Amino acid sequence: MTTQQLAGATVAPQANVYFDGKCVSHSLSWPDGTKKSVGVILPATLTFRTGAPEVMECVAGSCHYRLQGTDAWLGCHAGERFEVPGQSSFDIRVDEAFHYICHFG
Amino acid sequence: MTTQQLAGATVAPQANVYFDGKCVSHSLSWPDGTKKSVGVILPATLTFRTGAPEVMECVAGSCHYRLQGTDAWLGCHAGERFEVPGQSSFDIRVDEAFHYICHFG
């Protein structure tokens, strides 16, 4: 099920700009300490490193991703999600804009 | 004074992507009907049209802007804002990423 809205969020107004703007996100937090970000990845193939574990939820568009230590490129479409361990990395290949929510922790 | 955080927002998780990604924003709303967006404009010179009146608040970086019907390019830096009438337009020139909050209505 795709998350349609994120309510009650505190929004950091300054964007996170990665890879010359191929990825732009805004950080969100909640009074209970929950942290997420909402972002978009434009067509590109990129590698991201994780600190905390992450769940990447696709809200629109699609991507292919490959987790560190694996060979397979897997697809992720709107309404789907994939998990990335902490202190790891993943490759992501985007052919059309991939809109996501990143759930941390 | 620069807005540091926007609390209690409902966030639309799908980004607004304009001009091939030169401008990326996320739409925010509040239970009282207030609407804003947070976004970033990467180095470019662009023209935006308005529907409702807008106040553009710079939270980081800077820009030069020129309102429809005027000749002067004016500067806007972090902590500053400029107003754009509804049903109008403005040109914006960005040399380093311009992070903004757009206040509508």
pLDDT digits (tens, 9 = 90+) for A23-67: 999 999 999 999 999 999 999 999 999 999 999 999 999 999 999
Q: Is residue B78 part of a domain?
A: yes
Asked if residue B6 belongs to a domain, the reply is no
- Enumerate the residues of chain B whose CB falls inside 8 A of the CB of residue A24: 15, 21, 24, 40
Is the Cβ of A17 closer than 8 Å to some Cβ of chain B?
yes
State whether ipTM is beyond 0.95: no
Chain B residues whose beta carbon lies within 8 Å of the beta carbon of residue A81: none
A35 forms beta bridges with A29
The verdict on residue B83 lying in a domain is yes
Q: Shortest Cα distance from A94 to chain B (angstroms)?
A: 14
Enclosing domain of residue B82: 30-104
Number of domains, chain B: 1
Answer yes or no: is B99 within a domain.
yes
Chain A residue with CA closest to B36: the answer is A13
- The pLDDT score that the predictor gives to residue B72 is 97
Q: Is the confidence at residue B1, as pLDDT, over 70?
A: no
Q: Tell me if B77 is assigned to some domain.
A: yes
pLDDT of residue B105: 81
What single string gives the DSSP state of each residue in A65-77? Answer: EEETT----EEEE
Let me know if residue B81 belongs to a domain.
yes
β-strand B89-94 against B44-49: which pairing, if any? antiparallel
Q: Does the beta carbon of B13 lie under 8 angstroms from any beta carbon of chain A?
A: yes
Please indicate, yes or no, if residue A37 is contained in any of the structural domains.
yes
| Bridge partners, residue B88, by sequence | none
Residue B20 domain flag: no
Residue pLDDT, tens place only, B25-71: 999 999 999 999 999 999 999 999 999 999 999 999 999 999 999 99
Cβ–Cβ contacts within 10 Å for residue A55, how many?
15
Longest dimension (CA), chain B: 39
CATH number at residue A51: 2.60.120.10
